[in-house]
Amino acid sequence: MRFVLVAGWALFGLAVVAGSVGGQGKPATLLAAHRGGALLWPENSLLAFRNAVALGADFIEFDVHLSRDGEVMVIHDPTLERTTNGQGAVRDRTVAELKALRLKDRAGVPTGETVPTLDEVIAVASQAGRRMLLEIKLDAGRARYPGIEEKVLALLDRHRMAGSTVVMAFEPATWKRMRELRPDLAVCALYSARMLGRTTLAAELETLRAAGVGFVGLEHTVVDTAAVARARQAGIQVGAWTVNDAAAMQRLIDAGVGVLITDQPDVAKALLGR
């Protein structure tokens, strides 16, 4: 997400710290292509990521699971039916079996695209000089994948992309594990509107601040100018997901969100005046 880095979070280098500034003195909102741009191309496909990069997205956003033989795979669901022509759980298939499947388009028709490995997706971002929002998911039984955090870090290090990546999770156990393994890594705690209905944003921001988490990803319906200001006061930068309505996008841009996460990066690009 286009998070303006606070002191001690020089993870993305000087090119990320300031960015352009709007007429009202707000940091410029950056653009993240959610699942590569899921309303434009087959979601979480190499085609989508390459097209998002060509379109000018600042970040590509995607999700990861583990295969049966321990490969980190880029796919949103823990099961295969919705987005591929396969069946069953991702973790029950080897990487070779997963690569033999085909991703579906929005109409549910199989395409020529295969399920990418994280290694392949990182290569796309690295070669294009772009950043990544990487969400670590749970398996079909709502359990964490043993060792997935270490595997993700090894791949990021192989490509020298740890400093250009924000690792995200809804589960505190996951982002806490990333903080333990790599305290200097940018991590993001994700919250849905339902999750915040059981607590308060102020309380969660204090928890994140105390844990050294610099970024929060909020469901866009709970984001407004006050929420952005409250987060910044805590030293935490805000990203809003997943915003596909043009009017909602404009509202969030006006509120000063750090990053707009959308399935329609073409619409967001136009609103951002690029």
- Per residue in 158-173, pLDDT tens? 999 999 999 999 999 9
Say if residue 201's pLDDT is above 70.
yes
> What was the pLDDT predicted at 17?
33
**Rounded CA separation 157/169 (Å):** 19
In the predicted model, is pLDDT for residue 35 greater than 50? yes
pLDDT at 26: 67
Within 10 Å of residue 237's Cβ, how many Cβ atoms? 26
Taking all residues of the chain, what is their mean pLDDT, rounded to a whole number? 92
Model confidence, pTM: 0.91
Pair 182, 154: CB distance under 8 Å: no
Q: With 70 as the cut, is the pLDDT of residue 24 above it?
A: no
Rg, the chain, Cα only: 18
What token pair was written down for 225?
Answer: 């100018």
Residue 6 has pLDDT above 60, yes or no: no
DSSP E strands, 186-271? 186-191, 215-219, 237-241, 259-262
Please count the other Cβ atoms lying within 10 Å of the Cβ belonging to residue 134. 27
φ, ψ for residue 168 (rounded to 5)? -120, 155
Q: How many whole angstroms from its chain centre is CA 269?
A: 18
Quick check: 241 pLDDT over 80? yes
8 A C-beta contact, residue 232 and residue 210: no
Identity of the amino acid at 122: I
Q: What is the largest CA-CA distance in the chain?
A: 52
- The per-residue pLDDT for 25 is 57
Average pLDDT on 231-241 reads 96
Q: Is 214 exposed, middle or buried (0-12, 13-18, 19+ CB in 10 A)?
A: buried
Q: How far apart are CA 22 and CA 201, in angstroms?
A: 26
Query: For residue 34, which phi and psi values (nearest 5 degrees)?
Result: -70, 120
Instruction: Decide: 69 and 94 in contact? Cβ < 8 Å.
Output: yes
Split at pLDDT 50, 70, 90, the class of 12 is very low
Q: Considering only CA atoms, which of 58, 43, 46 is closest in space to residue 106?
A: 43
Indicate whether 9 pLDDT > 60: no
pLDDT digits (tens, 9 = 90+) for 209-221: 999 999 999 999 9
β-strand partners of 21:
27
User: What value does the mean pLDDT take over residues 255-270?
Assistant: 98
pLDDT at 13 over 90: no
Pick 107 or 1 by higher pLDDT. 107
Residue reference for tokens 């303006």: 4
**Alpha carbon distance 63, 78 (integer Å):** 10
What's the pLDDT at 27?
A: 78
Domains plus CATH for the chain? Answer: 14-271 (3.20.20.190)
Query: pLDDT category, 67, cuts 50, 70, 90?
Result: very high
pLDDT for residue 2 is more than 60:
no
Give the span between the Cα atoms of 220 and 95, in whole angstroms.
Answer: 34
Give the model's pLDDT for residue 250. Answer: 98
